[in-house]
Structure 1
Amino acid sequence: MPNRFFYTVLLTGALVLSFCRPVHAQEIRANVTVVANQVQGVDKKIFVTLQTALKEFLNNRHWANDAFTPAERIECNFLLNVTGTTGSDTYKASLTIQATRPVFNSSYVTSLLNLQDNNIVFRYAEFQPLEFSDNRVVGNDPLASNLTAIMAYYVDIILGLDYDSFSPRGGDLYFKKALNIVNNAPDGKDITGWKAFEGNRNRYWLQDNLLNAKFMPFHDVMYQYHRMGLDVMYDDVNKGRAAIMNCLNLMYAIHQDVPNTMLVQAFFTAKSDELLKLFSKAMPQEKSRAAELLSQMDIPNAQKYQQMK
């Protein structure tokens, strides 16, 4: 059995911990939206078909070794915004990825990932099968394979973050699967986002940070923030908040060692609003310390944090 706690929904709607799982259920419940308002001269039915195909691709595959009950599936959203064409059946787009995790003994869900990837280019003809294999990521057509490789990569990132939030270093297997996709990614003139030299905020750098020894404390943060922080707040708010404050100290140590990293930015993009609410009701000294740390680590939201003092 995996070293991971799982949630089941009671008939009352409350969430409780469960330690056993039946087999034969997928791991994620993905909502997929494809919009193509900016695309001209293309039959829009193609994008309706693509949306259905992507939803089936994500929801009907087994991505993990463990079996998830329907109540345990990870809720996630994929918004593919097609912005133009680059050739016959070839499109450029951005992809917004969001994933959440339930909090124990609560109807509240916390954000695990909230990220936008602007480096999407792919080939798709209506009713074209969407195929992906861990052993042959590139496929026969790099542009056609790029879309499914990107989707599979983010599923692995989501699974890794979710497993990390339930057990120490629980997500390593899935971060390594994401690395495998990066190492064997489709390559082509218009394909970007998979290589280190193409920028410091892309798919390469996210998985690099997640597997880099310099960022090992981040995995402790993911576990402590969720299992020792949020999950205990129903019983003891102060104890849960203290654990999350310790997580901020760990994140600050990462920030000091390696400033302005994609991983730290991604964490606060997912958690900034939640942290603001968590510490808005803290004792003045704790609130002031949280505001100080957050303002230095999450500069885009610094002004909001300063208002907590």
Structure 2
Amino acid sequence: MHNRFPLILLLAGIFLFICVHPARAQEIRANVSVVAQQVQGVDKKIFTTLQNSIREFLNNRHWANDAFTPAERIECNFLLNITGTSGPDTYKGTLTIQATRPVFNSGYVTSLLNIQDPNIVFRYVEFQQLEFSDTRIVGNDPLASNLTAVLAYYVNIILGLDYDSFAPRGGDMYYKKALNIVNNAPDGKDISGWKAFEGNRNRYWLQDNLLNAKFLQFHDVMYQYHRLGLDVMYDDVAKGRAAILNCLNMLYSIHQDIPNSMLMQTFYSAKGEELLKIFSKATPQEKSRAAELLSQMDIPNAQKYQQMK
């Protein structure tokens, strides 16, 4: 008994530690693809190694403070299409990012983000460690750091949108982290996408819109669309659809103040096809109202919405 007593204390301590500090699953479950069919004169094995490194960087890192169960991990796709080189070990291309959220009581997943970033340039030497620090984003080599800064930026945008969809203003912390990356982003003659003057559709403008008081209602929309709309539709389709129509009215008030914003474009890129399906079986009045609003706000797809009437 004398010998077992310290062991009992040790086991009790371990049990208490586990209760107080539950094991945390990572927040992101990212599928990563690196495509480099257009690149000539480079050993293609490098891109397989890069793909594995990006997957480990995204999936093995803790990005949030909350504990996520494996079932709660956010499903994402990151497709890096390398289109060429711009110097020794330096590549350029586009990054397509998609993220989804499960809908309550159903096997359905809804798109949170579906975006393509055309401003990707980075330096990568095979087997180099992909590193990122919130406090030292530029690192020792801005071109090498640009890749991890871009990836971390989009993870925070995804987390923000996901948290917004579960709680009012739930994503603010992550949008602020994205802002911190923008403010301290790598700089260089080939690096772009981080600054306001470089265009009206880039990383700067997306986080700016998400934190801008003029878009305050957007965060209410994200919560109501998902929690009062989609998550309710399993039990009451009409009630859920009515909440989503109310969200369109809220979005229209934003659109009237700030037409053609990047945030609205990003929302409809993720939700356009879904909205068509939601209102395809609505009442004639709801269908007509949805078509009227959507065709004014999402002009590239106006014809599709008009056909709902």
Q: Partner of 1:7 in structure 2?
A: none
Q: Partner of 2:152 in structure 1?
A: 152
Q: Deviations over 1:274-299 (max 9, x none)?
A: 00000010000110000000000001
Q: Partner of 2:85 in structure 1?
A: 85
Mapping of residues 40-79 of structure 1, within 5 Å = 40-79=40-79
Distance 2:84 2:251 in 1: 39
Q: Partner of 1:276 in structure 2?
A: 276
Q: Partner of 1:239 in structure 2?
A: 239
Q: Partner of 1:3 in structure 2?
A: none
Mapping of residues 279-294 of structure 1, within 5 Å = 279-294=279-294
Distance 2:172 2:23 in 1: 22
Distance 1:33 1:45 in 2: 13
Residue 76 of structure 2 is aligned to residue 108 of structure 1: no
Residue 122 of structure 2 is aligned to residue 125 of structure 1: no
Aligned to 2:65, the other structure's residue is in SS state coil
Unaligned runs of 5+ in 2: 1-20
Distance 2:264 2:161 in 1: 13
Query: 1:22–1:69: 8 Å Cα contact kept in structure 2?
Result: no
Mapping of residues 183-194 of structure 1, within 5 Å = 183-194=183-194
What's the CA shift for 1:67? 1.1
Q: Partner of 2:196 in structure 1?
A: 196
Distance 2:261 2:127 in 1: 40
Task: Write the letter of the residue equivalent to 1:114.
Answer: N
Runs (4 or more) in structure 1 with deviation over 4 Å come to none
Q: Deviations over 1:169-223 (max 9, x none)?
A: 0000000000000000000000000000000000000000000000000000000
Query: 1:31–1:78: 8 Å Cα contact kept in structure 2?
Result: yes
Query: 1:23–1:68: 8 Å Cα contact kept in structure 2?
Result: no
Task: Write the letter of the residue equivalent to 2:55.
Answer: K
Task: Write the letter of the residue equivalent to 2:268.
Answer: F
Task: Write the letter of the residue equivalent to 1:182.
Answer: V
Aligned to 1:227, the other structure's residue is in SS state helix
Q: Partner of 1:34 in structure 2?
A: 34
What's the CA shift for 1:24? 1.9
Q: Partner of 1:177 in structure 2?
A: 177
What's the CA shift for 1:23? 3.0
Distance 1:67 1:140 in 2: 32
Task: Write the letter of the residue equivalent to 2:81.
Answer: N
Q: Partner of 1:306 in structure 2?
A: 306
Unaligned runs of 5+ in 1: 1-20
TM-score by length of 2: 0.93
Distance 1:115 1:252 in 2: 22
Aligned to 1:110, the other structure's residue is in SS state strand
Distance 2:24 2:233 in 1: 33
Distance 2:212 2:294 in 1: 23
What's the CA shift for 1:22? 4.5
Aligned to 1:192, the other structure's residue is in SS state coil
Q: Partner of 2:16 in structure 1?
A: none
Distance 1:150 1:117 in 2: 9
Distance 1:248 1:189 in 2: 41
Max Rg structure: 2
CA RMSD between the two structures = 0.8
Aligned to 1:228, the other structure's residue is in SS state helix
Task: Write the letter of the residue equivalent to 1:197.
Answer: F
Distance 2:85 2:227 in 1: 45
Identical counterparts, % of pairs: 84
Q: Deviations over 1:16-58 (max 9, x none)?
A: xxxxx94321001000000000000000000000000000000
Distance 2:226 2:23 in 1: 26
Distance 2:267 2:292 in 1: 17
Distance 2:129 2:62 in 1: 17
Task: Write the letter of the residue equivalent to 2:218.
Answer: F
Count of matched residue positions in the alignment of Structure 1 and Structure 2: 289
Q: Partner of 1:4 in structure 2?
A: none
Residue 163 of structure 2 is aligned to residue 163 of structure 1: yes
